[in-house]
A and B are shown apart, each in its own frame.
Chain A
Amino acid sequence: MMRALLLSAAAIVALPAAAQDVAIVNAKLVIGDGSAPIDGGTVVVRGGKVVAAGAGVAVPAGVERVDAQGKYVTPGIVAAFSRVGLTEVDAVTGTNDRSAPRTRFSAGLDIAPALNPMGSPVAVNRASGVTRAIVAPGSSSNLFAGQGAVVDLADDMDMVTKPRALQYVAFGEDGSAKAGGSRAATFLLFREQLLAARSYARNPATLAEWGNDAMIQRADADALVRVIDGTTPLFVRVDRAADIVNVLKLRQDFPALKLVLVGVTEGWLVARDIAAAKVPVLVSPLTDLPSTFEQLGATQSNAGRLKAAGVDVSVGVFDDDDAHKMGYATQYAGNLVGLARVPGASGMTWDQAFASISSVPARAVGMEGSIGSLRPGRAGDVVIWDNDPLELGSRPTAVWIDGKAQSLTTRQDRLRDRYTTPQEGALPKAYDR
């Protein structure tokens, strides 16, 4: 009996693990790198990776063929800035691992062990075509929030694609609140913590000498050393134009910093500075309200204007919901296409807009070579859609992650099926499954 149980448990865990070799043919094929869709395209995935994609690609013998019947076939969506996997029900604190407001640690926090691949947000986002996500911690008790990860949304227990893929810090009003009440305190605290980490790197004994007065713990110092030398990209939430300019200047003291700006609501006002600094940005593009005084210049044309200035613009979903509705990325990208038709507004072409939710965020986190497009060598993250993926209500009909076919059924689907007819039948609804 016990053995049988163990066997079946092992079988369940093993079930989704087999990578398939698969060729999807007859596709309206979107590579995701900003190029135009290819009619009659084929993508071949072997050993979990894309080996070929384009028109006139031959399907190797023995590889399963899937006919897309002319539908859109794209790389999976890369959620540019997310908390997926860190929360189930936001207001149920036990399920919510976004932030650690009472920890004594900060930059050293690593979200990897907090991720829950079995959480229903993972399945719901996957069913809307999101296959990878850049996941950042929310906040700690100190300035630095900790280390985020790049994850996959596959139906298995191994969620982490790249741990410690970024360090996150908020400047602006949120940063001020953490640092002691002013932007001056934020910039000083930032600098002093990095200098402390550098001292520690040169002589680990210094940290012990500081004792309880240390601004940071050993684990924090370890993490910040990797920020200083550019090993870990530093994602900085910043919105006000003046704050953006000052954040870009952080590289005067720390030239190896690999900056990525998040939010950037007033970025269009200083687009040339951002472009000249060659710093990528992640924006939630429909933010158009002066919700705070650091967002007075908010406009939906921000993404388009930054793009036109030569900035690498990734489109994410994070000013409204950053965990449950990553599928809004396609809707937001579609809105950018619509904006291009509005007099005086700036948007993107369809091809640019799709790239902004696939290859561009992959590039921002330094993983353009491994995820985010259907160019050879990238992960076999492929979606077949029932319609134009940037149009409202379009949904995936099939999703592969690392070449493995994925379940698209969610808990929500099960509830819907139970109540398609709301009246109870011969037995209560609880028996209906």
Chain B
Amino acid sequence: MIRGVKGSLLAAVSLALVGCAASNGETASAGDKPAEKPVKFNKDPYPSTYKAYPGQVTAVRNVTIFDGEGGRIDNGTVLLANGKVEAVGGPDTPIPADVAVYDGTGKFLTPGIIDIHSHLGDYPSPSVEAHSDGNEMTSPTTPEVWSEHSVWPQDPGFSRALANGGVTSLQILPGSANLMGGRSITLKNVPSRTVQGMKFPGAPYGLKMACGENPKRVYGGKGRAPSTRMGNYAVNRATWQKAVAYKKKMDDGKAVDRDLAMETLVGVLSGEILVHNHCYRADEMALVIDMSKEFGYKVSTFHHAVESYKIADILAKEGICSAMWADWWGFKMEAYDSVNENIPLVYKAGACTIVHSDDANQIQRLNQEAAKARAAGRRIGVDVSDELAWTWLSYNPAKALGIADKTGSLKPGKMADVVLWNGNPFSAYTRPEKVWIDGALMFDANDPKRRPVSDFELGQPGEGDVK
């Protein structure tokens, strides 16, 4: 489809509307007369070069399937072909002759986990000062920076997330030192020489924002605004006001000087770029919701969101996702009111529920975090089935990232991003056995050659170890 419309102005505009990273980058309106029309800037100057690796037609039979949208098939069959999910069904699902067939008896098959909050690559291992590339702590608002320009593709953490965590896509965010930390990027979890080789084709950009303690501490500590929560909002509002004026100028057809910061914010105001807002406290989330209405944008997801349970009804009504930990608490004041039932209470209220990591270790066991949250819910009578709980790990984050039409569930035609687990993935005793990304087998616990080793680990102690 993208190939078919390449080159036409109409196509360029429509692709730009969804911030399509797979467009060919020809969004500048070369045919327009500069004097009369506003200059259009290339919205995709660092385009994805990711291409699915070769896969073979693969079937898994006799397996328990969670389809990612809340469905479950016992004794199921899945067929992957041409990088896509070809068929999902019961034992009588037809399988072509001469394809690789795996017996899934006693095993479980799910969509790959999608971590909506990661700093792999921008805070990589080893976490030496030379690698500290996640926070541009020189101004409280830096919407002009793009996390993809910090991502080190050789971070060994990507391989751990794949092999131990079954993570097939992830969003890399700037840190939370700034109110507006910059653009995020969604990646396919495939090793690559370049970050462009990991960029998820067609995924919209995100804007990382942050409430609360971090921005006011960082900038208050430098003797400048913001130093208080009210300062946080004042700086945010002034910046949004500037963006609204910049957008109006563009909408009115007036020429504007290119401003990379404003370009990102106009993308948010136009609905092309999704807001991912680090915010712990319920009262602050409510204020952010009003601020978003004041300036005309929408928050996709509150991240960390330890107090979402206090306003789960409001979040459900506003259609805002909460990306949460199962039980992190106590490390800072705004994480003091964490409860183990946050995730199930948000789910119970009918609000979009996501399990996230923000951590190079926890990204390796998001399934386990979901299991703990599910158990905590069950103890208070919120009984969530395994298959529904899986929506927290793949489909809901895919929706919040704007990629649910492409991945996040096992529906025919979607990307074959699939994990075969050696048992129920909500057990501590279970690990990924095989992971496919776009139908290519990228990890196989039974084959040491299907275990990525980053450049950094080559020739070091433990190279190619099980990790």
Contact = CB atoms under 8 A, between A and B. Distances in A.
B33 interface: no
B304 interface: no
A290 B456 contact: yes
A420 interface: yes
B428 A269 contact: no
A237 interface: no
B90 to A, nearest CB: 28
Interface in B351-406: 359-362, 364-365, 368, 371-376, 378-380
Interface stretch (A4-12, A207-215, A246-254, A341-349): A341-349
B376 A393 contact: yes
Given A296-B462, A393-B374, A290 B156 contact: yes
A282 to B, nearest CB: 18
Interface stretch (B191-199, B265-273, B295-303, B305-313): B305-313
B467 interface: yes
Contact of B466 (A92, A299, A420): A299
Contacts of A390: 428
B330 interface: yes
Contacts of A334: 428-429
A335 B364 CA distance: 12
Majority secondary structure of chain A interface residues (helix, strand, loop or mixed): loop
Query: In this complex, which of B127, B422, B460, B461 has the most chain A Cβ atoms within 10 angstroms of its Cβ?
Result: B461
B371 A423 contact: no
Nearest to A334: B428
Contact of B361 (A289, A292, A331, A420): A289
Given A291-B126, A412-B340, A419 B345 contact: yes
A300 B428 contact: no
B156 to A, nearest CB: 6
Contacts of B467: 288, 298-301
B136 interface: no
A12 to B, nearest CB: 24
B18 interface: no
A300 B163 CA distance: 12
B332 interface: yes
Contact of B429 (A269, A286, A299, A337): A337
Given A289-B361, A325-B328, A296 B460 contact: yes
Interface in B442-467: 445-446, 448, 456-457, 460-462, 465-467
B100 to A, nearest CB: 19
B307 to A, nearest CB: 9
Interface stretch (A61-69, A129-137, A163-171, A316-324): A316-324
Contacts of A338: 427-431
Contacts of B361: 286-289, 319-320
Nearest to A288: B467
B127 to A, nearest CB: 5
Nearest to A394: B375
B125 A89 contact: no
B377 to A, nearest CB: 9
Q: Classify chain B's interface size.
A: 35 or more
A91 B126 contact: no
B360 A90 contact: no
Given A290-B460, A345-B466, A412-B338, A89 B332 contact: yes
A392 B423 CA distance: 14
B125 to A, nearest CB: 4
A91 B332 contact: yes
A395 interface: yes
Contact of A289 (B156, B311, B312, B329): B156
Contacts of B380: 416, 420
A342 B466 contact: yes
B164 A300 contact: yes
B336 interface: yes
Contacts of A295: 126
Contacts of A344: 448, 466
Nearest to B376: A393
Interface string A394-428: 11000000000000000011011001101100000
B372 A392 contact: yes
B32 interface: no
Nearest to B334: A91
B462 A297 contact: yes
A293 interface: yes
B238 interface: no
A89 B429 contact: no
B177 to A, nearest CB: 14
A290 B428 contact: no
B144 interface: no
Contact of B431 (A266, A297, A341, A412): A341
A266 B331 CA distance: 28
Nearest to B311: A422
Interface in B109-135: 125-128
The 8 closest A-B pairs by CB, nearest first: A393-B375, A334-B428, A297-B461, A392-B371, A297-B462, A91-B332, A338-B429, A324-B330
Given A324-B329, A422-B311, 20 more contacts: A92-B333, A120-B330, A269-B462, A286-B364, A289-B157, A290-B156, A291-B127, A296-B457, A298-B467, A300-B467, A301-B467, A319-B361, A334-B428, A337-B428, A338-B429, A341-B422, A394-B375, A412-B338, A419-B309, A423-B313
21 contacts: A89-B331, A269-B461, A286-B361, A286-B365, A289-B157, A289-B160, A289-B360, A291-B360, A292-B127, A292-B128, A296-B460, A300-B466, A301-B465, A331-B372, A335-B365, A339-B431, A342-B422, A392-B372, A392-B427, A416-B341, A422-B312
